[in-house]
Structure 1
Amino acid sequence: MKRILIVEDELMIAGNLERILSKGGYQVSAIAIDYEQAERQLKTHVFDLALLDVSLSGKKSGVDVAKLINEEYGIPFMYITSYTDPKTIAELKSTQPAGYISKPVQAATLTTNIDLLFARLDHHNDEVTVQVGNGIHQYHLDAIYYAQADHVYTEVFHDQGSDVLRISLQAFQDQFPDNELIRINRSVAVCRRAVVKVDKTTVYLQDTCFRISRTLVDEVLEHFR
């Protein structure tokens, strides 16, 4: 369940947002009414999204919270506010928010925007950018089958064919998220999503299979438990 921080100094509005989000399948992990409370919550909890009112109690605003998030936490945030003047909107845009919801908040508008945001983020997280020298190669994790070492080269097999890259298999694997590209022997790493069966000696893909190195059996099997 996605965890959300609400930063809103009007508790009735914050409570209403919490009810909407809970009905939409989200967890409101904390509510803060000012910058200082938001800072404490960010230090002590992990959030997937922050909803920020622009005008807060105290000297600092929701824009200051946004700047803190950008500098130290890197999570997406959306503004929820009644401000619509061009100067304020320009200031909000400069912090690169993931969205902007106008008050009064409509339940369907809020949950739809958050649903779309997480759908975009989840899709982006399925893409891997591999740097080879000065070149960039981008792969979708669902499209890769396996990678095979050939001296100083690695051949990447995917649903469109294969690419031969001048990069070691280890350096190629290091650019993938944990548990996505799994080394099964000295020369082969398989994409976890392409594996259809695993036993104590062999990893099976749709159209091929590979022997597991005896020294890696326990580690490989652990990936698929």
Structure 2
Amino acid sequence: MKNSPIKVLIVEDDMIIAANLSIQLTSLGYEVTGILPRGEEAIIHVREHAPHIILMDINLKGNLNGIATAKAILKEKNIAIIYLTANSDDATFELAKETQPKAFIAKPFNKLSLERTISLVVEQLKDVSETASIEENIEVLDDRIFVRHNGRMEKLLLEDILYIEADRNYCSLVTHHIKHVLTCTLKVMEEKLPSLNFVRVHRSYIINISKLDVLADGHLEIGRKVIPIGKSHKALLLSRIKTI
């Protein structure tokens, strides 16, 4: 992605709007992989050309509207969706949210709003790409993890970790004495750490269950840190507590 232009697919059944989009995107330095009026065509195109971003009209004509098309595409590939829409009703918005789009652009749009929106999405894609490359270098052994500190890799014993807190594409590994910040998602940390000791208790937290001090109805405490318990994670937490 760093050395090649961002590829954008336009799925829009108004050819005047689509052509205008293509001209503007090309002038901004993006590569337009196609202009398609139908969702079925978009699904096939994505398999062959793998764009980074799809500008998707919500109200496509034909058997598949934009939301249904996005759902079908996302089952096969993780591609950033930006919806184009003149329809701002709440029901449509809620349905579109289920596909976790990167942004919405309201029609009629101007070049500045288009440029800014896509630029923000491209930055998100770069963050994810850079994170993925670093994640591959995270080494977790049976009893330790190696973290970068002062320009070198240092060991951190797993038993010293109190909890892990997520902030977007970063994770903070907190001990009694120091906090290490890794460029890594919480999901990746959850997969790498031994599940016997480390439990996901919230969308933003994994705890070392051996360090648990207080368990309340909606939160827990480790040291003086109050950590919320997500409803979907509570049953797993309670089952793990029974095993220790």
- Normalised by the length of structure 2, the TM-score is 0.56
Q: Is the 8 A contact 2:139 2:146 kept in 1?
A: no
Call closer, same or farther: CA 1:124–1:73 in 2, change over 3 Å: closer
- Could you tell me which residue of structure 1 aligns to residue 140 of structure 2? 132
3-state SS of paired residue (1:77): strand
- Could you tell me which residue of structure 1 aligns to residue 73 of structure 2? 69
Q: Which runs of no fewer than 5 residues in structure 2 stay unpaired?
A: 159-244
Superposition pairs of residues 17-36 of structure 1, within 5 angstroms: 17-36=21-40
Identify the match of residue 42 of structure 1 among 42, 46, 50: 46
Superposition pairs of residues 75-224 of structure 1, within 5 angstroms: 75-127=79-131, 128-129=134-135, 130=138, 132=140, 155-159=146-150, 162-165=153-156
Structure 2 counterpart of 1:125, one-letter code: S
Over the residues paired in the alignment, what is the CA RMSD in angstroms? 2.4
| CA shift for structure 1 position 110 | 0.7
Call closer, same or farther: CA 1:153–1:54 in 2, change over 3 Å: closer
In 1, Cα distance between equivalents of 2:117 and 2:20: 17
- Normalised by the length of structure 1, the TM-score is 0.61
Q: Which runs of no fewer than 5 residues in structure 1 stay unpaired?
A: 135-151, 168-225
In 2, Cα distance between equivalents of 1:57 and 1:155: 53
Give the aligned length: 150
Question: What is the percent sequence identity of the aligned residues?
Answer: 31
| CA shift for structure 1 position 120 | 2.1
Identify the match of residue 15 of structure 2 among 6, 11, 14: 11
Structure 2 counterpart of 1:159, one-letter code: N
| CA shift for structure 1 position 57 | 2.1
Structure 2 counterpart of 1:117, one-letter code: V
In 1, Cα distance between equivalents of 2:139 and 2:100: 26
